[in-house]
């Protein structure tokens, strides 16, 4: 790795995500032309990262999610060259004007002024495990990042005040993703117009969503991608609300969402622009011919993911050759055999159903079509 990095002196884009990159190797990088740097899920620290940031003043994209060692330095750290460097936040705010950031560990702003003006050009922001942004920072994001187009929050503490302000004040916001976030979020968050919003992903953060809430969402935003997980109160009527409210959906993913498919998937097949569909634990009413029906009714469909728990007749028929030209893969998951899995698969409620974790999957059957043949693979995990 050290030898490889040492020979990349004039690169503008460098992605070493999930590699064995460590301080020793990154210290060998002496380039000063970087615009994009992704070192997520590596073990580098400020000893090696700080000099890179300082030399590359044109850096516009920095991704450091999962870099726990960035957190360990207290006060100033000393590099191998003998120079003193500050903490992570101090270095990025004093050197860079970033446009795309993905951060967790060591990204701990306390005051709004900590991020102004260095984050004033940020358009895409992802904040995840390793930090908890205080509410004053989250609420001020439209002010800190006036051009914000995409926001992904994982494992953060959020509130109606934060989400509603984002939708009302971030006029350029097109993507909002909330994954495994905590806080007292209610339907009030989404009772406001968000005409620019195109992608909404709510993963295990909104168990209270009802059909009325879905209807309000369809009136307030024009989505092309919707992901909902853990929305236990939805039922078969939700399909019609989704298909009529967002007829131009290109991607629909529903997981652990009540009984949406208890009576089949007819309304979902009315969304003719769909390119990707995922249905998992949404009601045991999907017929055997779902794959053939989807290929026939959805001319743009490329990916389909199903769960055998939702099959009304125990399984799905597989066509040897897809009738459509776009279909590339079908994934069918099978759950581990346990009492908890059975209750979830067949829609039986329990006292803690709203807080239950996703069911573990035993294996996934993957069907992939090339221009010549169908390939079937069984993977011993959920895909």
Domain ranges of the chain: 198-329
pLDDT score of 176: 99
At 145 the pLDDT is 96
**DSSP annotation of 82:** S
pLDDT digits (tens, 9 = 90+) for 238-264: 999 999 999 999 999 999 999 999 999
Q: What is the pLDDT of residue 92?
A: 87
Could you report the per-residue pLDDT of 202-231, keeping only the tens digit for each? 999 999 999 999 999 999 999 999 999 999
Q: Say yes or no to pLDDT of 341 above 50.
A: no
Which of residues 306 and 2 earns the better pLDDT score?
Answer: 306
Q: Is the pLDDT of residue 345 over 90?
A: no
- Does 8 score more than 80 pLDDT? yes
* 358 — pLDDT class (breaks 50, 70, 90): low
Helix, strand and coil percent figures for the chain, each rounded to 5? 25, 20, 50
pLDDT at 21: 93
Answer whether residue 342 shows pLDDT above 90. no
**Percent residues over pLDDT 70 in the chain:** 88
CB hemisphere CA count around 183 (13 angstroms): 26
Counting beta carbons within 10 angstroms of the beta carbon of residue 197, is it exposed (0 to 12), middle (13 to 18) or buried (19 or more)? buried
Q: What are the pLDDT digits (tens) for 19-75?
A: 999 999 999 999 999 999 999 999 999 889 999 999 999 999 999 999 999 876 544
> Tokens 């001020």, residue?
140
Which pLDDT does position 284 carry in this prediction?
A: 96
Largest pairwise CA distance in the chain: 69
Asked if 313 and 288 count as a contact pair (C-beta separation under 8 A), the reply is yes
Determine the pLDDT at residue 351: 40
- Residue pLDDT, tens place only, 154-184: 999 999 999 999 999 999 999 999 999 999 8
Model confidence pLDDT, tens digit, residues 76-100:
444 444 455 567 888 888 888 999 9
Q: Which pLDDT value is given to residue 272?
A: 96
The pLDDT value recorded for residue 85 is 56
| pLDDT > 60? residue 297 | yes
Supply 294's token pair.
């989807």
In this prediction, residue 360 has a pLDDT band, given cuts at 50, 70 and 90, of low
pLDDT score, position 88: 83
Can you tell me the distance from the alpha carbon of 359 to that of 5, in angstroms, rounded to the nearest whole number?
41
Band (pLDDT 50/70/90 cuts) for residue 324 is low
CA quadruple 19, 20, 26, 30: dihedral positive or negative? negative
Torsional class of 46: left (φ above 0), alpha (ψ -120 to 50), beta (otherwise): alpha
Greater pLDDT, 299 or 360: 299
Contacts of 352 (CB under 8 A, 6+ apart): none
Give tens-digit pLDDT for 147-159. 999 999 999 999 9
CATH topology of domain 198-329: 3.80.10
How many C-beta atoms surround the C-beta of residue 96 within 10 A?
21
**For the residues 297-312, what does the mean pLDDT come to?**
95
Gap between the Cα atoms of 228 and 256, Å rounded? 8
């Amino acid at each position: 790795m050290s030898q490889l990095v040492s020979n990349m002196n004039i690169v503008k884009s460098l992605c070493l995500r999930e590699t064995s990159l460590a301080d020793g190797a990154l210290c060998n990088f002496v380039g000063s032309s970087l615009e994009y740097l992704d070192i997520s899920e590596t073990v580098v620290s400020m000893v090696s990262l700080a000099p890179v940031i300082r030399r590359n003043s044109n850096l516009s994209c920095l991704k450091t999610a999962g870099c726990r060692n960035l957190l360990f330095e207290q006060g100033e750290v000393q590099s191998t060259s003998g120079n003193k460097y500050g903490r992570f936040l101090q270095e990025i705010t004093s050197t860079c004007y970033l446009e795309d950031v993905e951060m967790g560990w060591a990204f701990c702003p306390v005051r709004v002024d900590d991020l102004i003006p260095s984050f004033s050009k940020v358009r895409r922001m992802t904040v995840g495990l390793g930090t908890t942004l205080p509410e004053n920072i989250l609420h001020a994001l439209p002010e800190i990042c006036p051009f914000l187009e995409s926001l992904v929050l994982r494992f953060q503490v959020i509130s109606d005040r934060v989400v509603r302000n984002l939708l009302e004040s971030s006029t350029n916001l097109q993507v909002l993703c909330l994954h495994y976030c905590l806080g007292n979020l209610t339907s009030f968050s989404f009772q406001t117009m968000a005409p620019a919003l195109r992608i909404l992903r709510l993963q295990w953060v909104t168990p209270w969503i009802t059909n009325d809430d879905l209807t309000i969402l369809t009136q307030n935003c024009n989505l092309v991608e919707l992901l909902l997980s853990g929305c236990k109160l939805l039922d078969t009527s939700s399909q019609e609300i989704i298909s009529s409210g967002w007829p131009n959906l290109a991607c629909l993913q529903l997981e652990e969402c009540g009984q949406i498919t208890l009576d089949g998937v007819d309304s979902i097949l009315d969304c003719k622009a769909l390119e990707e569909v995922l249905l998992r634990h949404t009601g045991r009413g999907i017929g055997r011919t779902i794959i053939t029906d989807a290929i026939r009714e959805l001319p743009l469909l490329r990916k389909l993911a199903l769960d055998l728990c939702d099959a009304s007749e125990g399984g799905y028929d597989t066509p040897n050759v897809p009738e459509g030209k776009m279909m590339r893969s079908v994934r069918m998951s099978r759950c581990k055999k346990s009492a908890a899995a059975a209750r979830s698969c067949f829609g039986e409620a329990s006292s803690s159903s709203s807080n239950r974790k996703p069911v573990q999957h035993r294996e996934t059957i993957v069907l992939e079509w090339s221009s010549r043949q169908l390939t079937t693979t069984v993977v011993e995990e959920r895909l």
